[in-house]
Amino acid sequence: MSVHNHYEVFSTQSSVGDVFKKASRHSRRISLLKIFLPLLALVLSLVFCWFTFFLVPVTSDPMPLNNEENGVRNLTMLNPKLEGYTRAHEPYWLKAEKAFQDQTRSGIIGLQNITAKASMGQKRQFFLAAQRGIYDNIHGFLQLDKPFTITTNDGMMAQFMSANINLSEGQLKTDQRVKIQRAGFHLAANALQIREKGKNMYFHGGVHLVFQK
């Protein structure tokens, strides 16, 4: 995995002969890997969860709702929930307060107040809390257009204002402020792209990286 700022490798600058700075740069790259690998693992697990969520019937209470003001009839599911295992055989669950589909917009499904949990190994767990998500079944895109948070049980927190996720490619993109932090580490940037199914992360604009001893 590589971390970039405007397509330049994000690392401390060092002269060729400066052994100390090279060691420092290597140490910081290792620290970055420890921070971002859990985040990438969650993103990939989340992609699998979303695919399964929309392909498999879920436990829910279907209820047709009619909006009398504009005459639009929506099909609404209350408290849809899905539990299962990722391709890596790790358990997960994903649920929402409400799922709805506008009958006038084929292939567009909305979710409200989303929560999810996924595991990686016996000890590490990931949690997602999102206000809203919009899924485009035709193009395979998921849009989280409201603030959402990803946390782990070992203290990492990633805060997003919004994000667009290409489910088929396993890619995430946001053009709004991102903050990622855990003990001894803080990173903020104005934009983020995760490409090639998590192999590369690109941070853009106003990137601030702080290591605390």
pLDDT at 130 over 70: yes
pLDDT at 34 over 60: no
Enumerate domains of the chain plus CATH numbers. 2-211 (2.60.450.10)
Q: How far apart are CA 76 and CA 69, in angstroms?
A: 17
Parallel, antiparallel or unpaired: strands 163-166 and 141-144? antiparallel
Q: What is the pTM of this model?
A: 0.69
Give the model confidence (pLDDT) of 45-82 as tens digits: 555 566 566 555 544 444 444 444 445 556 788 888 87
Range scoring the smallest mean pLDDT among 115-129, 152-166, 180-194: 115-129
CA separation, residue 35 to residues 40, 60, 74, 86, 185 (Å)? 9, 36, 41, 21, 9
User: What's the whole-number average pLDDT of the chain?
Assistant: 71
Q: Greater confidence, 121 or 159?
A: 159
Exposure string over 3-12, b if 16+ CB within 10 A, otherwise e = bbbeeeebbe
